[in-house]
A and B are shown apart, each in its own frame.
Chain A
């Protein structure tokens, strides 16, 4: 029933579009018909990706709080100058835009911690799942499940656990420890932001690393076993070196993602307490969209600075991917 309906819809869409497409094919001729197929995608790319990239530079060099370009006076590099105006880059208090530098510092720490521990845990999990273990499919699914949850749901799940009268505090008290207001103490809030972000992203990297591990031919291990190589040595000398290309891709990918972290953190802590968990994207969102006056120019300048960092990271990633496919 459902299937026939789907087939009918598929046929219907074909019939609906056949005549105009045939007319376009005749109009353009066989050699240029490819452009007809490309057009919808290219128009959307142009409007919503390429045009905004160019406009970003216009916004970054104009001031005021109007979104319409004609109402925005040209200010040159003022926004960049104000963002970069610091006595010492390691002390946000000495900066003109201290919140920006706090966000930069937080993001730096966040990327370091989140990526470091996430890759470590993902690697251990992938190695264990790569054993001939029973229920492998089940375990893999369990680790992957949080990846599919929406960031808002993830944040609420943990907020419920971490709240003052939450189950974690109850458990700690039951075990004889004191309770902590987890999300209201700066250091703990940062810890949980990193933890939750690992929790909901790790499964993805487990999957990629597991695929990498399974592509290592088993006869390498059999040969090592024959030579009596101990297992820990197999790990250091065979598994990890052969996994290196996948690791590299995973690393760069997770760094690029971590730099842009926003959703689950925003819902979990709102960037607080104070600005303890405010990362770059939230700074851009706050400055450009949530507080008045809306400083679009400053937000655009900050995103361009971030784009520069991401650009370098992506180049590294592409190089790494190329190296990986070259090796195979």
Chain B
């Protein structure tokens, strides 16, 4: 009954179990990518097209035209049946099941058309202004810069500090080594969500409320990073380090010129994790950063979606711009990311 789950291809040709497997995967692809695709498609629609119900799949905007004697642009329809069939008319207003319409060529004459007898006229229109607005009216670059600053600085410091600690724990014998290691690993048990209140005290005592450093510093000493790098550095042979020491290399040189380059694969995994963590982080910045000029992208998105005045068209464009960097990174480093996660078991 469940055998199809572990069937193997090539033995019986393309059989029923393969159909079921591909059916499941097809559904999975639809569910996983469909929503993202829908977001991207929607982000290119004009506000008028977004308000339309039921929504159209492609960014086909209803055509609107200025008609003499009216202040607002009127929506254009083609009449499909009835007395005026075949004409293209502009709608003035709806009255119950009828629409009062007007021919743009002859604006003085009002025509009555049943609403079931007309179809909106559409044109393929990509609303790039959704995106340009995000830059001109919503200060997107500021939030993008804030997020980038936090991500880059925190990642550099994370990799530096964690690798130094990992080096000490992996390559030196000293009293208290095991105690320190256990202490660091023990903090894995204390997720940051538990110490929100006291951490806020520490940050505010240091004057880092509404400062990016208030987000960066608490994030740097990741136990995961220390553990990951230590395990990797254990595999580097000690002879290599001793040979360098024979040549009078300082401990710093041993670390920087030998151990770090050799740990590159593990460092890359940590860099990817750190970028992901910091770029996507939400709860802690939400607590520390309260003024809009220091908001990260995630905070800005969250606050815009809470405001009633914000139009979906700009919000959708901003959402797409926020997921773009991570998507590009994933497209290029997909293999390394999935391998790194499968091997280390952290996220």
**Residue ranges of A at the interface with B (Cβ–Cβ < 8 Å):** 13-14, 17-18, 21-22, 25, 30-38, 40-42, 44-45, 47-56, 58-59, 67-69, 124-125, 127-134, 137, 139-153, 156-161, 165-167, 170, 173-174, 199, 203-204, 207-208, 210-211, 230-236, 239, 249, 253, 256, 260, 262-263, 266-267, 281, 284-285, 288-289, 296, 299-300, 303-304, 306-307, 310-311, 314-315
Minimum CB distance partner of A134 in chain B = B9
3 nearest A-B residue pairs (beta carbon): A231-B3, A55-B198, A170-B54
User: Are B3's CB and A128's CB within 8 A?
Assistant: no
The complex places the Cα of A9 from the Cα of B189 at a distance, in Å, of: 36
Set of chain A residues within 8 Å of B165, measured between Cβ atoms: 37-38, 40-42
User: Are A141's CB and B334's CB within 8 A?
Assistant: yes
User: Are A49's CB and B1's CB within 8 A?
Assistant: no
User: Are A42's CB and B194's CB within 8 A?
Assistant: no
Given A41-B221, A53-B195, A285-B196, CB of A33 within 8 Å of CB of B251: yes
User: Are A52's CB and B221's CB within 8 A?
Assistant: no
**Residue ranges of B at the interface with A (Cβ–Cβ < 8 Å):** 1-10, 21-22, 24-25, 28-29, 31-33, 35-36, 38-39, 42, 51, 53-55, 160-162, 164-165, 167-169, 172, 174, 177, 180, 183-184, 187-191, 193-202, 204-205, 217-218, 220-221, 226, 250-253, 255-257, 276, 279-280, 282-283, 286-287, 298, 301-302, 305, 312, 315-316, 319, 322-323, 326-327, 330, 334-335, 337-338, 341-343, 345, 347
Minimum CB distance partner of B23 in chain A = A128
User: Are B323's CB and A149's CB within 8 A?
Assistant: yes
Q: What is the interface of chain A mostly: helix, strand, loop, or mixed? A: helix
User: Are B341's CB and A130's CB within 8 A?
Assistant: no
The complex places the Cα of A145 from the Cα of B312 at a distance, in Å, of: 24
User: Are B305's CB and A159's CB within 8 A?
Assistant: yes
User: Are A38's CB and B39's CB within 8 A?
Assistant: no
Given A40-B164, A67-B201, A161-B35, CB of A231 within 8 Å of CB of B338: no
Set of chain B residues within 8 Å of A199, measured between Cβ atoms: 31-32, 35
Q: Which of B25, B36, B205, B337 gathers most chain A CB within 10 Å?
A: B25
User: Are B323's CB and A17's CB within 8 A?
Assistant: no
Set of chain B residues within 8 Å of A127, measured between Cβ atoms: 5-6
Q: Which of A44, A147, A230 gathers most chain B CB within 10 Å?
A: A44
Minimum CB distance partner of B331 in chain A = A141
User: Are A44's CB and B220's CB within 8 A?
Assistant: yes
Set of chain B residues within 8 Å of A67, measured between Cβ atoms: 200-201, 204
Minimum CB distance partner of B193 in chain A = A260
> B54: shortest Cβ distance to chain A, in Å?
4
User: Are B305's CB and A47's CB within 8 A?
Assistant: no
User: Are B55's CB and A170's CB within 8 A?
Assistant: yes
Set of chain A residues within 8 Å of B42, measured between Cβ atoms: 160
User: Are B174's CB and A35's CB within 8 A?
Assistant: yes
Q: Which of B10, B168, B198, B199 gathers most chain A CB within 10 Å?
A: B198
Q: Which of B28, B160, B257 gathers most chain A CB within 10 Å?
A: B28
Given A55-B201, A310-B189, CB of A153 within 8 Å of CB of B319: yes
The complex places the Cα of A17 from the Cα of B163 at a distance, in Å, of: 15
Set of chain B residues within 8 Å of A33, measured between Cβ atoms: 172, 251
Set of chain B residues within 8 Å of A58, measured between Cβ atoms: 198
The complex places the Cα of A285 from the Cα of B322 at a distance, in Å, of: 25
The complex places the Cα of A30 from the Cα of B254 at a distance, in Å, of: 13
